[in-house]
Structures are given as structure tokens and as C-alpha cells.
């Protein structure tokens, strides 16, 4: 066995193909954060700045509705 084979390194990049069997997507809407943190995030998403995103605001409000009203 060559020294390169023993260490797992190669002298040059090696290409390979990989067949994807499945894709799993997850949506994180700060469900694990305290209500006040979620309110701060929502306030910034509703604002005029670089983080403004009305669609994301509405989605986060829906996901966190129970926490925000409770």
C-alpha cells in the first residue's frame, strides 16, 4: 500500500458521482425560543431594514401563534 493510500489523501482531486436517494427539508421558525425573542425577530422582519420579509413574518406568526398569544 502506498503512503497516500494509508493516510486517505490523494495527489490530485478525485471526482465522483453520488445518487441521491432522498431529500429531507426542515423548517425552523424559532419554535424553541422564548416568546420575547420571537417577538423581536418578528418586529425586525416587519420593519423597513434589510431583514424585512412579510411572507416570513406571517409564517412565523402562524407557527408560533400559541406561544405569542399565551
Given a contact cutoff of 8 angstroms between Cβ atoms, the answer to whether 70 and 64 are in contact is no
pLDDT, tens digit (0-9, with 9 covering 90-100), for 30-58: 889 999 999 999 999 999 999 999 999 99
Number of domains, the chain: 1
Domain membership of residue 47 as a residue range: 32-70
If one compares 6 and 58, the residue with the highest pLDDT of the two is 58
pTM of the full structure: 0.60
User: Would you say residue 55 lies in a domain?
Assistant: yes
Within-domain flag for 18: no
Amino acid at each position: 500500500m502506498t503512503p497516500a493510500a494509508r493516510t486517505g489523501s490523494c495527489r490530485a482531486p478525485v471526482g465522483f458521482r453520488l445518487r441521491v436517494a432522498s431529500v429531507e427539508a426542515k423548517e425552523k421558525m424559532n419554535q424553541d425560543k422564548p416568546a420575547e425573542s420571537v417577538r423581536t425577530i418578528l418586529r425586525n422582519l416587519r420593519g423597513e431594514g434589510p431583514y424585512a420579509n412579510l411572507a416570513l413574518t406571517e409564517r412565523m406568526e402562524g407557527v408560533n401563534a400559541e406561544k405569542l398569544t399565551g
